[in-house]
Amino acid sequence: MDMSSFQFPANPLKPKRPGPLAATVIALVILGAIMVGMSGFYADLLWFRSVDFFSVWSTVLTTKVTLFIFFGLITSLFITTNVYLAYRSRPIYVPVSIEADNLERYRGQLEPIRRWVLIAIAVGFFYFAGTSGMSLWESWLQFKNATTFGVKDAQFGMDISFFVFKLPFYQSLIAWAISTLVLTIIAAAAVHYLYSGIRLQAAEDKTTVAARVQLSVLLGILVLIKAVAYWFDRYALELKEGKLITGLSYTDVNALLPAKSILAGISLICALLFFANIIRRSWVLPAAGVSLLVISSLLIAGVYPAAIQQFQVKPSESSKEAPYIQRNIEATRAAYGLSDVKVTDYQATIETSAGQLKNDETTISNIRLLDPNVVPSTFRQLQQIKPYYNFADSLDVDRYVIDGVKRDSVVAVRELNIEGNPARNWINDHLVYTHGFGFVSALGNTIDTDGKPTFSVGDIPPTSGLGKFEPRVYFGENVPDYSIIGGAKGSKPTELDYPDDNSANGQKNYTYTGKGGVPMGNIFTRLLFAIKYQEQRILLSNLINSDSKILFNRNPSERVAKVAPWLTLDGNIYPAVVDGRILWIVDGYTTSNGYPYSKKTNLADATTNSVTTSSTAVASLASRNVSYIRNSVKATVDAYDGTVKLYQWDTKDPVLATWSKSFPGTVTPKSAMSKSLLEHIRYPEDLFGVQRDVLSTYHVKTADAFYGGQDFWRVPTDPSSMGANAGIQPPYYMTLKVPGQDKAAFSITSSFVPRGNRQNLTAFAVVNSDYGSDYGKISVLQLPRSTNISGPSQVASNFEAKPEVAQALSLLRQGGSDVVLANLLTLPVGGGLLYVQPVYVRATSNTSAYPLLQKVLVSFGDVIGFDDSLKGALDQVFGGNSGTVLNNTSQSSSGGSTNSGATGNT
């Protein structure tokens, strides 16, 4: 077709301008979108001010904005400048060719909008590069405020802080520079091609001088930065995961490490060849340099290391890798706080005799028969009081002084359950039902004659053995997304406080007087939150006045995460009555994935167990790899006014020191913690979960034992979990005295069995959780290989296999009842290992039924006891007299009459 006569219309049709109505609608839509976005932004500002952590908000915002502008501006200017230079250096005269004629049409279409295209490119790259750079705010703050570890890595002799704080930011800068240069080269080459600075179909001189010079400079800079990348890759090798260990192996040190240095040198030469091409008219030398770089990377970074591995390492791998395995062991134990683990050989006996437990009175008397994961429904039936209250589906274990004696207790907070309110409407949901009421505690080792818990704190109003405390719970794990509280002095209270049969309306009302919340005294603030929650009644309701405040971000974990975004938070927060207040205690971890030679652990895998798979109240940590972790912060959130406090717990942690320099004044010294608070501090469950996962392999201290792998352990499967909820045993809190300790201590414990299919017990780990000089000390009782002590799964099978037990359990399961086997506890007492498992019975025919403790199973060696009480079961096992006196512990139950004597389980 002859296109020579084709012309564009002289007066092309112009699109109609929008009319006044359409323009108004468009403006309103844009304004609405801005207001919705700004409502969340401004609400955050007000919230941070209300909790006295405004400096965190401003620091994060300033850092993000600075990085956004820095990366966005440099990227945009660099790319658009090179695009502009490519355009300005376009050839004035273009030789006639079919290629040139085809491009002329595109140039003609682009010319009217060329400036707008350039502006769009600049804005687009500014936004996307700025957004990407903004995500580096944590890495930048760590880089800027890096604190030395005082420990050097094994290969380069550099302080660990370089790998933890510096290297990640350097790698991000290198990646950004390479991606920016690649995009620039593509953009510049495209412009040169469009304007015939690059002529692919030309026989000679396929590029103009200007195109050759610009592209040679850009490619030279790109390869130069690649040389820098190769150099920093040397350090990153200490962080890589290999088949055997994390860190440098024999092949890495003797082949790959030199290869990276050589490739850096070749890249430097290649860059010089590109720069030399500025004055040459041929691409031969740069092409040869690139070919050399590619071939070298394949040979010296691929083939050569593979040959070293195959012909030098594999024939004698254990001896070749031994020094590097030892580095891995030492670094891993240091990074996870396991360097001082005390491992003791425990010559456990399986023989039983009368009076065998007489020296373990404290441990036996504190055996926890209440399972915090079984009794939540019991708490609901006995202590919920009203359907608009509720308890979590997994409770917590703590210790309290009751009548002068420290007792392990199962504790919970009576939180608001808005779903249980039969009269749901906006006013009730957000202005009337605003808070939970009460703290409930039951003795862990004591039940009544019906199998019910013995409550030391409970009821409404609270009856308490802990003295008076503020019982109202405005901040908790199960609260409405927002509540509007407060009122003018002397005004009629509108909040439901608690049910009261003596009141005319059956309830006591209350007006919040705490300091928590964001004031809503002006119309602008009300409009802000009306937009944020898309609720016009916030703006229009006459129940909201100048003294009203709004509570939001009310979950304790959420509050701590917002004021300390650099912390990883434990998945199991717990309440405690401290100095007359209910406080939520939240354990915070500082982590890093950059500790040289340290094993990488996935936090989700390490902290998932049978409880986290079945509970909504206890969660495993998010899936993320780390190679360093410390419980550096203990945080508290006041259940009444929402006050958040961050206490420095690990005074030697360089990561915490770095974040403290980034956010000065946000972390309070450890010395500010009250004595009452320290009494309720416990060793964190998720930290121990990670440590026991690492310890299952890294309890071995020599390279030979590590390479052999025959001594590796694993955490046993929880025999009380089944089906979809099956998983490994969770750590258990209990008060006990282990061999080698001077006195009993509240501790967190775990059992280990051999890795593989064997189920016998190989070790028992315990960590002291009582504040003091021994807090956090990990002790491991390791059983000799010659001793065969049954593990948890074997003990559970033995229980079910014993005819008397099987028959009794079968009878309990009849008549519309279900048997619930509770946590199987392991205790190192009597010179051996004692297993205790409470047995609960729950009626299945009644939806309001709850489990009652009816029996106790006990095992020591091959002997099993099964009785209505713990004392009775122990006496069965130990010749009719265990040697302990149990007062008010597992009193005889009225349910279940079967009493079986102890026999060897065969």
Tell me the residue range of the domain where 876 lies. Answer: 790-904
Tell me the average pLDDT across 727-751: 95
Task: Give the pLDDT band (50/70/90) at residue 786.
Answer: confident
What CA–CA distance (Å, rounded) separates 392 from 502? 29
Domain identity same for 270 and 319: yes
Which residue is it, tokens 């209350």? Answer: 510
Cβ–Cβ under 8 Å, residues 343 and 764: no
pLDDT at 204: 62
Using the predicted structure, report yes or no on whether residue 736 has a pLDDT greater than 90.
Answer: yes
3-state secondary structure of 513: coil
Do 825 and 368 touch, CB atoms closer than 8 A?
Answer: yes
Structure tokens at 863: 């002997």
Q: Are 47 and 553 in contact (CB under 8 A)?
A: yes
Q: What share of the chain has pLDDT > 70, as a percent?
A: 93
- Please tell me which residue, 342 or 887, carries the higher pLDDT value: 342
Query: Which of 466-470, 668-672, 764-768 is the least confident region?
Result: 466-470
Q: CA-CA-CA-CA torsion for 598, 602, 608, 613, nearest 10 degrees?
A: 180
- Cα dihedral 531, 537, 542, 544 in deg (nearest 10): -50
Task: Please give the Cα distance from 876 to 351 (Å, whole number).
Answer: 14
**C-beta separation of 752 from 833 below 8 A:** no
Both 566 and 674 in one domain: the answer is yes
What pLDDT, on a 0 to 100 scale, did the predictor assign at position 813? 86
Closest C-alpha to 476, from 437, 511, 512:
437
- The answer to whether residue 279 is domain-embedded is yes
Domain boundary among 480, 513, 534: 480
Is residue 833 within 8 Å of residue 858, measured between CB atoms? no
The answer on 185 and 71 residing in a single domain is: yes
Task: List Cβ neighbours of 484 (8 Å cut-off, separation of 6 or more).
Answer: 430, 431, 520, 538, 543, 544, 548, 549, 550, 551
Strands 495-499 and 507-510: antiparallel
User: How far is 608 from 458, CA to CA, in rounded Å?
Assistant: 32
Q: Is residue 866 within 8 Å of residue 875, measured between CB atoms?
A: no
Judge contact between 261 and 231, C-beta under 8 A. Answer: yes
Give yes or no: residues 180 and 239 share one domain: no
| Pairwise CA distance, residues 139 & 500, whole Å | 54
State the pLDDT at residue 849: 87
Q: How much is the pLDDT for 874?
A: 96
The reply to whether 174 and 249 lie within a common domain is no
- Residue 666 to residue 560: CA distance in whole angstroms: 11
Same domain for 81 and 200, yes or no, is yes
Residues in CB range of 402: below 8 A, 6 or more apart:
409, 443, 456, 465
Query: How far, in Å, CA of 562 to CA of 475, rounded?
Result: 15
Average of per-residue pLDDT across 525-550: 92
Within 13 Å and on the Cβ side, how many CA atoms surround 828? 26
Asked whether the predicted pLDDT for residue 875 surpasses 90, the reply is: yes
DSSP code at position 419 = G
Task: Compute the average pLDDT of residues 53-57.
Answer: 97
3-state secondary structure of 146: coil
Token pair listed for 447: 């039940």
Kindly report which listed range (608-612, 794-798, 811-815, 835-839) carries the lowest average pLDDT score. 811-815
pLDDT tens by residue, 135-151: 999 999 999 999 999 99
Residue 503 is predicted with a pLDDT of: 84
pLDDT score for 18: 61
| 903 has pLDDT over 60 | no
- The whole-number pLDDT of residue 463 equals 86
**Per-residue pLDDT averaged across 767-786, rounded?**
94
Model confidence at 787: pLDDT above 90: no
d(CA 868, CA 894): 8
Residue partners of 644: CB distance under 8 A and separation at least 6: 51, 53, 559, 560, 563, 635, 636, 637
Q: Is residue 348 a part of any domain in this protein?
A: no
The pLDDT, as a whole number, for residue 888 is 45
pLDDT at residue 901 in the model = 37
Cβ atoms 557, 488 nearer than 8 A: no
Among residues 836, 184, 240, the alpha carbon closest in space to that of 594 is found at 240
Provide the pLDDT for residue 900.
Answer: 37
Report pTM: 0.91
Report DSSP state, residue 371. -
Based on the domain organization, do 199 and 240 belong to the same domain? no
- Does residue 293 form part of some domain? yes
Residue 44 CB coordination number (10 Å):
14
Q: What is the mean pLDDT of the chain?
A: 90
Do 252 and 192 lie in a common domain? no
Contact 427, 465 (CB under 8 A): no
Residue 772: CB partners within 8 Å, gap ≥ 6? none
| Alpha helix stretches (DSSP H) within 299-375 | 304-308, 317-335, 361-365
pLDDT at residue 899 tops 60: no
Amino acid at 294: V
Residues 6+ apart with CB under 8 A from 739: 344, 346, 781, 828
Across the range 267-280, mean pLDDT stands at 91
C-alpha to C-alpha distances, 572 to 69, 576, 724, nearest whole angstrom: 39, 13, 21
**Least-confidence region, from 139-148, 326-335, 490-499, 705-714:** 490-499
Neighbours of 702 (CB within 10 A): 12
How far apart CA 122 and CA 415 sit, in angstroms, is 53
Count CB atoms within 10 A of the CB of residue 687.
25
**DSSP for 40-104?**
HHHHHHHHHHHTT-HHHHHHHHHHHHHHHHHHHHHHHHHHHHHHHHHHHT--SS----HHHHHHH
Given a contact cutoff of 8 angstroms between Cβ atoms, the answer to whether 255 and 313 are in contact is: no
pLDDT of residue 97: 63
Query: Cα separation of 768 and 596, whole Å?
Result: 29
Does the structure show a pLDDT above 70 at 85?
A: yes
Q: Do both 96 and 186 map to the same domain?
A: yes
> Would strands 342-345 and 778-782 be described as parallel, antiparallel, or unpaired?
parallel
Q: Which tokens is 346 given?
A: 């425990």
Structure letter (DSSP) for residue 344? E
Largest CA distance in the chain: 115
pLDDT band of 571, cuts 50, 70, 90: very high
Q: How far is CA 282 from CA 176, 212, 400, 870, in A?
A: 30, 9, 84, 91
The reply to whether 291 and 404 lie within a common domain is no
Q: How high is the pLDDT of residue 644?
A: 98
- Whether 484 and 546 have beta carbons less than 8 Å apart is answered as no
Closest to 70 measured CA to CA, from 161, 221, 166, 172: 172
898 lies in a domain?
yes
What's the rounded Cα separation, in Å, for the pair 202 and 403?
98
- CA dist., res. 452 & res. 728, Å (int): 28
Gap between the Cα atoms of 482 and 542, Å rounded:
18
Q: What is the pLDDT of residue 558?
A: 97
Measured CA to CA, the distance from residue 392 to residue 413 in angstroms comes to: 8
Q: Would you say residue 765 lies in a domain?
A: no
Of the candidates 436, 444, 387, 442, the residue with the CA atom closest to the CA atom of residue 413: 436
Are 804 and 875 within one domain?
Answer: yes
Encoded tokens for 679: 């009494």
Asked if residues 478 and 417 have their Cβ atoms less than 8 Å apart, the reply is yes
Position 550 in a domain: no
Is the link from the previous residue into 803 a cis peptide, with omega within 30 of 0? no
Q: What pLDDT, on the 0 to 100 scale, is given for residue 145?
A: 98
Collect all residues with Cβ–Cβ distance below 8 Å to 211 and sequence separation of at least 6. 86, 89, 192, 197, 198
Report how far residue 313's alpha carbon sits from residue 322's, in angstroms, rounded to the nearest whole number: 11
Is the pLDDT at 708 greater than 60, yes or no? yes
Assigned domain for 497 exists = no
pLDDT at 1 over 80: no
Q: What is the DSSP string of 801-822?
A: HSHHHHHHHHHHTTTTEEEEE-
Within a domain: residue 757? no
Domain boundary among 627, 648, 681: 681
pLDDT at residue 20 tops 90: no
* Number of Cβ within a 10 Å radius of residue 534: 9
Tell me how crowded residue 362 is: count the other CB atoms within 10 A of its CB.
Answer: 15
Determine the Cα–Cα distance for residues 439 and 576; give it in Å rounded to an integer: 8
Q: Would you place residue 702 in the very low, low, confident or very high pLDDT band (cuts 50, 70, 90)?
A: very high
Amino acid letter at 774?
D
d(CA 121, CA 77): 10
Across the beta sheet with 439-447, what order do the strands follow? 396-402, 405-413, 439-447, 453-458, 463-464
Q: Three-state SS for 495?
A: strand
pLDDT at 11 over 60: no
Which residue, of 681, 697, 732, is where some domain finishes? 681
Structural domain total, the chain: 5
Say whether both 272 and 198 belong to one domain. Answer: no
- Which of 82-86, 368-372, 877-881, 898-902 has the highest mean predicted lDDT (pLDDT)? 368-372
Sign of CA dihedral 537, 539, 542, 544: positive
